[in-house]
Amino acid sequence: MSGFSERAFDAVDIIATKRDRGTLSAAQIAWTIDAYTRGIIADEQMAALNMAILLNGMDRAEISQWTTAMITSGERMDFSTLRTPAGAPMATSDKHSTGGVGDKITLPLAPLVAVFGVAVPQLSGRGLGHTGGTLDKLESIPGWRADLSNEAMMRQLSEVGAVICAAGAGLAPADKKLYALRDVTGTVESIALIASSIMSKKIAEGTGALVLDVKVGSGAFMKSVDMARELAQTMVDLGKDAGVNTVALLTDMSTPLGLTAGNAIEVQESVEVLAGGGPSDVVELTVKLAQEMLVCAGVHDADPAAALKDGRAMDVWRRMIRAQGGDPEATLPVARESETIYAAKDGVLVELDALSVGIAAWRLGAGRARKEDVVQAGAGVRMHAKPGAVVRAGDPLMTLLTDTPEQFERAREALEGAVRIAPQGSAQGKKLIIDRIC
């Protein structure tokens, strides 16, 4: 039962306050979120308020109160009783990425951090549009299941140290309703609403430490460094206000991460990283995020790079996949059809646009346009060269994979202009990790 009267405030007055650049009180915000969740505030009224927030912003206190109200709309998980098999308390640390192309980092990262005795309760989602979803990738493993009860999740954290699963409906239910409304009313871009949406779920999840991977570039939601930095700082502040040790990295997403964008092919690449190999950018970001997660959880003497090379992270991966019904040794799905795109001339590959590759993978069947759509496990784009590589005319640049070959044409259209080849020596390297916000 809510503690608010339906008439404690008036929705029109609250809309007008923010329309006129006023500041909402904690009580007004708490009532607003509660009333909207219960259907007292109509969609059109909340849409108007969201637009006023988009145009006029909110200050730190308002954003913190808005986030708290969304957390209060549902349950909050508690890992304080979590223990190792030997009975020792376990620290918890989590990571959230704002989404990108080829971003499979969660897959090797969760077991890597767990090697050092820090539990990783990674509640993840499915992809929509050109950004891939962690659960979609893992569901390409035969038998693996995303839905776990809270009891099963706690048991797996105690026994394995890491879990990647779907968030329960009880965590911040107000956010689900609000996000659906923002998505159809042109108010997704509000920094305040993005930050509170992400952080309400992460704080409700109950982790003790959180590292944010805020993507910047064509394949990311944040196109400019300034916007990404503002979002990162807002989320770090929200975490700290809630007592969660939070830091953020700004990372480049102008080029896809790794050499794959899809589902099963990204799992395959993640396993290569866990085996001590894999693309250098995926390894670099995985190790850096692991270091940040461990330090935030109070572990300062760990060597994540060594744990990738010596097989300890792979051991945890196998246990984690088996614990959720999957077979880590099973053959992954393979697309029935493929088509290769070749270099048109000699030179240096200086640009491979992340957004274009993401849209191509989506059109091939690796992503979905609506939440109800089914994805193809084997679909996607396999890249054979990244910026800085010397190529010759006729060298393969990308292989398109799908079960529906009629999609090749639309995928090729998405890739028009995605690749730029210039004369020798013109490649300019970009820093993968742009900044750290704490």
Please pick, among 182, 229, 288, 363, the residue that the annotation labels catalytic: 182
Question: Is residue 182 annotated as a catalytic residue, yes or no?
Answer: yes
The active-site residue, picked from 34, 94, 95, 96, is 96
DSSP string of 50-84, one letter each residue: HHHHHHH---HHHHHHHHHHHHHTSB----TT-B-
Catalytically annotated residue among 94, 103, 136, 175: 175
Q: How far is 163 from 110, CA to CA, in rounded Å?
A: 7
Active site residue 197: yes
Query: What is the C-alpha separation between 434 and 438, in angstroms, rounded?
Result: 14
Nearest alpha-carbon partner for 390 in 426, 431, 432: 426
Question: 123 pairs with which residues across the strands?
Answer: 165
Q: Do 161 and 117 touch, CB atoms closer than 8 A?
A: yes
Three-state SS for 342? strand
Question: In angstroms, rounded to a whole number, what is the distance separating the alpha carbons of residues 394 and 396?
Answer: 6
Residues facing 250 on adjacent strands = 214, 435
User: Which residue is listed with tokens 């108007």?
Assistant: 48
Q: Kindly write down the DSSP assignment for every residue of 247-308, as one continuous string.
A: EEEEEE-SS-STTEEESHHHHHHHHHHHTT-S-HHHHHHHHHHHHHHHHHTT--S--HHHHH
- Cβ burial of 151 (10 Å; 0-12, 13-18, 19+) is exposed
Rg over alpha carbons for the chain, rounded to the nearest Å, is 22
The torsion angles phi and psi of 133, rounded to 5 degrees, stand at -115, 135
**DSSP reduced 3-state for 7:** coil
Angle at 76 between CA 72 and CA 82, to 5 degrees: 160
Q: Which uninterrupted H or E stretch holds 33? A: helix 26-37
**CA 34-38-44 angle, 5° bins:** 90
Query: How far apart are alpha carbons 26 and 16 in whole angstroms?
Result: 16
Active site residue 300: no
Catalytic residue among 95, 137, 201, 288: 201
Q: Which one from 190, 197, 218, 254 is the annotated catalytic residue?
A: 197
Residues that are catalytic: 96, 175, 182, 197, 201
